[in-house]
Chain A
Amino acid sequence: MSEVDDTQTLDREQLRRLFDLRSSYNAHSGGDYTDDPYPMWAQLRARAAVHEGTVHELTGHAGAASFHGLPFPDRPHFSAFSFASCDTAYRDDEVFASSPDAAGPEADDISVTSSMLSMGGARHRRYRSLVQPSFVPAKAQWWIANWIERTVHLLIDGFVDDGRAELNVDFAAAIPVLTITGSFGVPVEQALVIRESLQRPMEIVEMLEPIVAARREKPRDDLISVLVEAEYTDDDGVTHRLSDAEVYSFAMLLLAAGSGTTWKQMGITITALLQRPDVLAAVREDRQLLRSAIEESLRWMPTDPMFSRWVTRDVDFHGVQLPRGAVLHLCIGAANRDPARWVRPEQFDVRRAPKPTLAFGSGPHICIGMHVARAEMAVGIGALLDRLPNLRLDPDAEPPRFIGMYERGATAIPVLFG
């Protein structure tokens, strides 16, 4: 495996531009929002489980925002803020569909929107069952040993002798991209090009085409090989495999859903710990607590605090009439701090008893990458604690703040160590 032997070839300027939450690249999802939305979300949740309007409008953010379920100007919009309402909607994919038309991919339509995200019912279950085996907890070790561990340590090698680092873009942002592209067998110098090409899927397809062809010819121990070899037998005894278009769509989904989210959640977790040196010290001493800290960060500040569902029939939902065709926005950020479910919900507390949150969603579309994301965060933060003694925020630099509406994350995380 030589794909990530040379992280020095990563262009840091390009990294910074791509992963700056406030850049124009990210502004479309509310990257220019810099307030704390949680006090308003608490008020809204206390008033009613479900409100008319979008989450950003109800929060008082006037800027345009485009995200899952937005903008759809011709449809009525509603937003759910309680844990119970969000959980119910996630689990009922007949009434609350994951796309406006659960048609799924056409053979010649390769994009994230044509991926598994938008399929429904039995078709989605069949398709997901082909790829689920590569994303189970038992498989996390495969991801760690093949891609995550090496990436993490090479990145730390780049700054370990400096006594200082910026952990958001130079560390957290690079790990998921390199993990996913590494699992595709894409050379590291192409990793950022791929990230940049997400809006232009055909460019990614051009990069993946020779790899997919090569793996069909001669499989390796990597994800593309798993995808081209995955098969299931239907009720009529016919064996199905993924077409090239389906492999490309799934690869696009992994890149789009896995690279931005995991780096920002890792940055949120690192920031929350650095802001609380006593908690950081406890986690350093007792690594069992690291897992709890990651789960708590997912509850306390999920990087994507909203996902949407499309209402398939008129329904009375928590006392609100939702018409067929409406978009229901699930404010999981608010749901994850519902006082009906958690004591002192606004507090970041790594000693809570384990309890499921909605950070990865729920129901049949629950995040397929969640165990890989957890592994990336645990290995990444664990390696920082192992290799950077006396890790602390740089007192002379601007402290990290949490920004963003629909893609939340930390600004720069400047640290000192040693």
Chain B
Amino acid sequence: MPDQERTREIAVDRELCMGSGMCIVYAPGTFAHDEATKAIVIDPMGDAIDAVRIAIEACPTGALSLTSEEERG
């Protein structure tokens, strides 16, 4: 819903991240890789929340987490 104010905070554990690219498969609007081939969040609102949850679950080393999410109508 575009008229909603929403915030999301997504944490990346850079020690755990191995650069597999799984997050980019499932939420390409949210995640990318930096120079060190570590996942970075390019836009926390870049994909539907379901896609972000799937990307977090898909991470093979559990490097991603949704630390806060507020959705207000």
- The answer, yes or no, to whether A199 is at the interface (CB within 8 Å) is no
The answer to whether A366 has its CB under 8 Å from any CB of chain B is yes
Evaluate contact between B61 and A356: CB separation under 8 angstroms.
no
For the complex formed, measure the closest distance between the CB of B63 and the CB atoms of chain A, giving whole angstroms.
11
Query: Interface residue count for B (Cβ, 8 Å)?
Result: 20
Are A129 and B60 within 8 A (Cβ)? no
Indicate which residue in A129, A355, A361, A363 contacts B37 across the interface (CB closer than 8 Å).
Answer: A129
Are B60 and A137 interface neighbours, CB within 8 A? no
- The answer to whether A366 touches B37 (Cβ under 8 A) is no
A238 part of interface (Cβ distance < 8 Å): no
Query: Residue A128 at the B interface, CB < 8 A?
Result: yes
- Distance, CA A354 to CA B60, complexed state (A): 16
Assembly CA distance A309 to B65 (angstroms): 27
- Interface of chain B residues 54 through 68 with chain A (CB within 8 A): 54, 57-58, 60-62
Contact B54 A355 (CB under 8 A): yes
Assess whether A91 is in contact with B62, with CB atoms less than 8 Å apart.
yes
Give the interface residue-count category, chain A. Answer: 20 to 34
A26 close to chain B: CB less than 8 A: no
Bound: A363/B59 CA distance, A: 8
Q: Is the CB of B21 within 8 A of A364?
A: no
Whether B25 is near chain A, meaning CB under 8 Å from some CB there, is yes
**A137 engages B19 (CB within 8 Å):** no
CB distance from A296 to the nearest CB of B (A): 14
A356 and chain B: residue at smallest CB distance: B58
Give the distance to chain B from A166, nearest Cβ to Cβ, in Å.
Answer: 31
Q: Contacts of A356 on B, CB cut-off 8 Å? A: 22, 26, 54, 57-58
A364–B63 Cα distance when bound, in Å, is 11
Shortest Cβ distance from A31 into chain B, in angstroms?
A: 30
Write out the residue numbers on chain A whose beta carbons fall within 8 Å of the beta carbon of B61. 91, 363-364
Interface presence of B7 (CB below 8 A): no
Asked, given contacts A136-B21, A354-B51, whether A362 binds B37 with beta carbons under 8 Å apart, the answer is: no
Bound CA span A122–B69, Å: 33
Is A240 an interface residue, CB under 8 A from the partner? no
Q: Determine the residue in chain B with the shortest Cβ distance to A366.
A: B60
> Is B18 in the interface zone, CB < 8 Å from A?
yes
Residues of A within 8 A of B60 (CB): 90-91, 361-364, 366
- Contact status B21-A371, CB under 8 Å: yes
Excluding A132-B20, A135-B21, A137-B21, 12 further A-B contacts by CB distance (< 8 Å) are A129-B37, A132-B18, A132-B37, A136-B37, A353-B50, A354-B26, A356-B26, A356-B54, A356-B57, A363-B61, A366-B20, A366-B60
7 contacts between A and B (CB under 8 A): A91-B60, A91-B62, A136-B21, A136-B33, A356-B26, A356-B57, A364-B60
